[in-house]
Structure 1
Amino acid sequence: TIYYAQRMGIESPLPMVPSLALGTGDVTLMELTAAYTAFANRGTTSMPRLFTRVEDSSGETIFLNHERHTKAITEATAYMMSSMLSDVISGGTGTGVRHDGFRLPAAGKTGTTDDYADAWFIGYTPRVVTGVWFGLDTPAPIMTRGFGGTVAAPAWARFMKAATRGAGPDWYEMPSDVEKVAICRLSGARATPSCQHHYVPVALPVPATGVAAVGYVAPAAGLPPSEPSVYDELFAVGTISAELCPMHTPSPAYGGFVGSTLEASTTLTVDAAARRVVLEQVVGSDGVSRLVVKKKH
């Protein structure tokens, strides 16, 4: 963490502790904003400049303040970070940006310290990176429930609406060394066609097994749909296993049986004689052992 922070321009001393990733090190607003240029600029940082040149009274340039760039992370990493940080604005703690009328594609991250002493929002489009901080010279609560998303994000949005006026909805093209993979939400592995459903995962009562049983039931009429059972995730090419979802692929123990949906209720009837439904113990990506409902495919 410290290695990459320094490559991205952080010069403040950082504590070598696991919680550093949560923000336990103090940095300046300029440092953090400059670090985000690595995400916005496809992996290359752009160091801030207060001025670009100095001219004398006759208009002759007597000093040039050249741009300084450093390749800090790969383009693939920058693209995946931009994808994740765009989710903060579209459906996370940074949705205040949209509520305040900023409509261009963007990515960013909120930040709130203990006792609401600091409220942050660092965000960017492919052309502009902007950081906003609210706080006091001597740390103290700035306001009740002064979250970064409710204090700093709206200020960022108002500035960015003016700074990007007339700009088009540009966004990044996916690099060739990044792939989009469909993932089963239940197992965390590559999805199969059998992973697609519109049902809610529930625990099923299976006595004397010592493991949890998982099945699906249809949501009650009138309720909003559950989270999609399959979602797309980005990976650097070659970094995700080719193994398919173990919960929705043919069972080696029961040929032809795959994980499926239960369309009625949480009550499971196992018809062992007809071999229509079986339970198979599967260890998911989270390390939890479950009994998975498998029906004849």
Structure 2
Amino acid sequence: MTENPSLINRDYNYLLNFERKIGLGVSDTKQNARVMFKRHAGQNKRQRIDNTDARVTRVNKMFDSPNFALKRDNVLVISLPSGMSRSTQNKSGYDKKAGTYTWTVEWVPVNEDGRQLASFTSFRIKEDAILRDALSVTPLANAIGVDPESVEKDKIQFSIENVISMGKRSVIKLNPEETLAKALANKVVLEYPKFYVTFSPETWQEYMEEEKDAYGVDSDSESESDSDSSSSDSSSSDSDSDSSDSDAEAPEEASSKNPEPETLAPQSITGLSSSLASSDKDEEEGFSA
């Protein structure tokens, strides 16, 4: 074999190509690993919560040390205890296959007299979906008792529940032409968004609030300032009287029973289970301010 130069040359080229393929394979594996880890590191990076955020102040006033986190466009998501139905239903998260963040959404139709109808839930709605297009017509038609073809989507109005309302029911009006991401930006949701679907601009008009008013952006800041001032004065007075004193955080749908009409008054996060379980009877009677 060694006396035939062509055979020697062929074997040499074979070994050379084999070595080159191994080198390229190792290089590609390293490159792919770097890209993959970089991508996942960015996706899992948590947004830092600002303790001066008025929404955080409201959440801490209403719930007893709840778990919450910022998602996507500054959406503050309050987490319920694991095992509760709303927590179990929540499928919101980054969809690797779709390459985008997806949301679970609860839709609550409201008829013209202000009564809530049977709600339904959509899963894995892409955040770049237009709000009006994200709403499925068939379950909506079933909820309001009409033929799907008779539903005029261009007349539908949307609002989002203010889950940290300190008094009467409060909702924030949304633009139906905006994307889901933009509609949810800077909002507060309990596990996942609850959207109210109305068919007239006048429906629930008395409950509509601007975002800054709904979340107490101005009033809470002033309240905190007054509280700090009062605390400072009290501390100063105590110091004068007794210097020895010291100072002491792809869309699928599932129907449900009529949605819960409670106003979410201040309560412990652990008390949510009983209020959610007793909501069915109240929903049939509708909401009264």
**TM-score, length-normalised on structure 1?**
0.19
Q: Normalising by the residue count of structure 2, what TM-score does the alignment of the two structures yield?
A: 0.19
Q: Radius of gyration: which is bigger?
A: 2
Richer in helix (by share): 2
User: More strand per residue: 1 or 2?
Assistant: 1
Q: Relative contact order: is structure 1 or structure 2 higher (C-alpha 8 Å, sep ≥ 6)?
A: 2
